[in-house]
Amino acid sequence: MKFGSDDSYDSSTHGKYRPKSDMNYDGASAQVFFTCLLGLLCFGLSVWRLRRWFRQRAKSRQVQTAFCPCQGCRTRRRAKERSQRRRERFMRLASSAFWVALWALFLFQLFALYRRTRNASDSGALFDPYETLGVSRRASREDVTRAYRRRSLELHPDKNLDNPNYRPEEFVNLNKAYRVLTDPVALENYQKYGNPDGYQGTRYGIALPSWLVERGNLVLIGYALSLLFGLPIGVGLWWRRRARLISESVSQETYALFAEFLGQSTAIKFRNLPEVYGAALEFSSRTPFQAEYGDQEAISLVCQALENSGRFDHRDQRLFNRGLPHFTMNNVLLHAHLARLNWHRFPVSMKRMKRNLEILLAHMDCIIPAMVDIAGAAPRPEVMQRYQRIFSVGGYIDRVLRVVQLEQSLCQAMLPSESELMQIPWFGPSEVKVCNTNKRFGVDGIRTVAELRKHVWEPDVAALVAAQGADALLPVDLQTNSAERMNKSTKRSTTSLHPNVSPAGNKNAENACDGSLAALRLGWITTTLLDAHVHRCSAR
């Protein structure tokens, strides 16, 4: 019990020393904490808005000096900027309103906190019972009693019914002072601690669970080390790793490597770009070259297959010889992908090569933009400032176009020089050759193939099968066991669709009807499936 909280007083509560006094979880501390957080948010947002304003001004000056200074171009740029500002007006207004509301709330909290602190200081003056009763510190008990009676007649509520300046708390303090000076225990506490309730100190501690402290010092030391050292070290390592990245997933070393590679005059050739792409240092750990797992033999077989087909010779692709094995392996795998090699035709297992190729293709979203940044560098001022040497070797537009062609070629598994008909499923060199040489087709693009109707498409295909057999329409990498997976109903439906097909010889007739080789092609070239495949490839 505390003095002044209730008129009833019990002297037995005096003199009890309470070393474990409870901490006060009141609204004042919460208000201070909330005001501090709000202040940090307001100041941080203000700094961000100020920096953005300076960046926009600097960008505006840079645009004015970098673009055409003629009146027409300036007028068009101003019109474009006004249109963009109109589109962003609502977002700017909402952002400004939110910023003003935060500052208003912060200032209101500051004012409320100031008033609360001032009221607390006014009401929290030191309690002096001698001054309240108007007696000296050497007054006897009788003097205290007489002073109390005299002052109680003056401050009693019944005596001040018509007094507008009367304050009831004065009468409460008078009773409290009398009780302190007439009770020996309360008087001793007041003389010793300055408070009739005794010691009013507050203990503070670290917010730790009891089981952590009870189990000894080792757990506590581990907790302190992880909190004081582990967290800062973890944040420092993360920040150091992020500082090495220019973009989201590409390191500065890879950017420097691209700048050196693309800065050479021979890098503008398309056949050298797959080597630049595969040289990214991010692939050194994701697609490592491991000879003990058979990578040397597998790469040798792939190189031999590419040389036999005349698509690629790795001996002529030593543009950037750095002694890193993943350079050559990634380059060979990308050229094999562009040549559409069938991995099942090799006598050794190609699972690791296929997995490495999938990893190479899966990182196009981050590697290709990095190559474009280095090749173009104009949209990224920080990259242009870091790698200015790239502009000393020709223009950068051709390089950007070549890199874009590389991305398209890797997506479609075809070279830029090949016909776009290769994008259609099941189209190979034989189909492209037929479409390019046949006068009735006369096609050189996907759109023309899509416009072919059934009465134009099917008779020519049937005639081609009758003259040359089904192999003329089959893709070059079709597996030999694909015919075994076709059922007999497909054969019968194919025969009913083309009853007039009469191959030139018995062997060709067997090829045209056996298995599903002809059925696969003749079933695919019907109008419905043709349109579906063509539209899907065109949308790709």
The alpha carbon of 175 is separated from its chain's Cα centroid by a whole number of angstroms, namely 68
Q: Which single residue is written with the structure tokens 């083309």?
A: 498
Q: Report the alpha-carbon distance of residue 303 to residue 313 in Å, rounded.
A: 7
What tens-digit pLDDT sequence spans the chain (540 residues)?
A: 444 444 444 444 444 434 444 444 455 667 777 888 888 888 888 988 888 888 888 777 766 665 666 777 778 778 877 887 777 788 888 888 999 999 999 999 888 888 877 776 555 556 778 888 888 888 888 888 888 888 888 888 887 877 888 888 888 888 888 888 888 888 887 877 777 777 666 555 555 556 555 655 666 677 677 777 777 788 777 777 666 666 667 877 788 788 777 776 666 677 778 888 888 888 877 777 776 677 788 888 888 888 887 777 666 655 555 556 677 788 888 888 888 888 888 888 888 888 888 888 888 888 888 888 887 765 455 555 565 555 444 456 777 888 888 888 888 888 888 877 777 766 777 777 777 776 555 555 566 665 554 444 545 554 554 555 444 444 333 333 333 333 333 443 344 444 443 433 333 333 333 333 333 333 334 333 334 344 444 444
Q: List CB contacts of 400: < 8 A, sequence separation 6 or more.
A: 372, 375, 376
Tokens representing residue 287 in the block: 């697609």
Q: Which single residue is written with the structure tokens 């010779």?
A: 313
Query: Is the distance from CB of 173 to CB of 4 less than 8 angstroms?
Result: yes
- pTM of the entire structure? 0.42
Q: How many CA atoms lie within 13 A of 143 on its CB side?
A: 9
Of 3.20.20.150, 1.10.287.110, 3.40.50.720, 2.60.120.20, the CATH number of 129-204 is 1.10.287.110
Q: Structurally, what CATH architecture does the domain formed by 252-418 represent?
A: Orthogonal Bundle (1.10)
DSSP 399-421: HHHHHHHHHHHHHHTS-TTS-GG
- Whole-number pLDDT of residue 165: 80
Ordered by start, the domain boundaries in the chain are: 129-204, 210-244, 252-418, 425-459
- Whole-number pLDDT of residue 104: 92
- Whole-number pLDDT of residue 8: 41
Q: Report the alpha-carbon distance of residue 508 to residue 511 in Å, rounded.
A: 5
Q: List CB contacts of 43: < 8 A, sequence separation 6 or more.
A: none
